[in-house]
A = this chain, B = another copy of it.
Amino acid sequence: MTVSTNRPRIGIIGTGAIGGFYGVMLARAGFDVHFLLRSEFSAVAENGLRIDSAVHGQLHLNPVQAYASAEDLPPCDWLLVGAKATANAELAPLIAKVAAPGARVLLLQNGLGVEEQLRPLLPDSLHLLGGLCFICVHRTGPGAVVHQALGSVNLGYHSGPLFDDEGARQALVEEGAALFRLAGIESRAMANLEQARWQKLVWNVPYNGLSVLLRASTTPLMSDASSRELVQALMAEVVQGAQACGHVLPAGYAEHLFKVTEKMPDYWPSMYHDFIHRRALELEAIYVRPLAAALEAGCDLPKIRALYQALDFIDVHNR
């Protein structure tokens, strides 16, 4: 392995709210962080990145090691991909280009099957990991991110040279979690990425979808008896789907996330931002694949299916 483990070089692919927040936190902790940008390049190169965080205060990274083209990035040991899952296919060649030999590619995305989609497009020598971010952040303008609450990241190994070596594989995941912890971010290495993804779906399936369907943020959703029941019923179906697929989630996990959301500041999930900006909704990763996986395991999830069908109608008519 040629990756430098002392001071790994980190590349951020997709500097939206997620990439911007974690990138700035890592740079602030002394890591060598490089940002690949598209439409926001000039604004960030000129004014830097600003995080208005309710937890960490006002963070301003300036100058930023910002690039408009993947050709210009130095080879990176860790690549954090915070772009929409819908963009993975077009990102693959860029990732391959900026990856150092033996690099770790970490997909900070929600839903199921995002690594499966990207894997065949990447060189076999790269490690592919998934990360589930429990965080309330949103982009407010070019290079400007508001961080409202939370921030933890759960990591898991998906595929790559260490797939058959459980010990080494897990050590690499721990190495990733350690990076985040050094930057002041709670982070856990998960033994099973697929299970971690199902756990995160317990939050994403109800709140992302209902924010679009009901044009409502978390506070009104948590203040109305009918939407509370609907959230709980959808969470219960995700837990059921996970179980059918062989992932027994921690006891009381749905209730835990329900209570966490009650205490959160009012939050508009990312799918709502995609909706109002008439971007494609991440329905494939958050609804279609979990429904298909559960169904293949003999488990129908009727309320999630109905929610998906309604969202698909909305998505098609929204673009």
- A interface residue numbers (CB < 8 A to B): 210, 213-214, 216, 220-221, 224, 226-227, 229-230, 233-234, 302-303, 305-310, 312-314, 316-317
Contact = CB atoms under 8 A, between A and B. Distances in A.
Given A316-B224, A317-B220, A230 B310 contact: yes
Contacts of A302: 233, 302-303, 306
Given A302-B302, A303-B302, A303-B306, A314 B214 contact: yes
A148 B217 CA distance: 38
Copy tally for this chain in the complex stands at 2
A229 B309 contact: yes
Contact of A214 (B233, B305, B310): B310
Contacts of A234: 306
A216, A229, A310 pick with most chain B CB within 10 angstroms: A310
Contacts of A227: 309-310, 313
A287 to B, nearest CB: 11
Given A226-B308, A233-B302, 19 more contacts: A213-B213, A214-B310, A214-B313, A216-B313, A220-B313, A221-B313, A224-B312, A224-B317, A226-B309, A226-B313, A227-B309, A227-B310, A227-B313, A229-B309, A233-B309, A234-B306, A302-B302, A303-B303, A303-B306
Contacts of A316: 224, 226
Nearest to A308: B226
A317 B221 CA distance: 11
Contacts of A214: 310, 313-314
Nearest to A302: B302
10 contacts: A213-B213, A214-B310, A214-B314, A229-B309, A234-B306, A302-B302, A302-B303, A303-B306, A306-B306, A306-B307
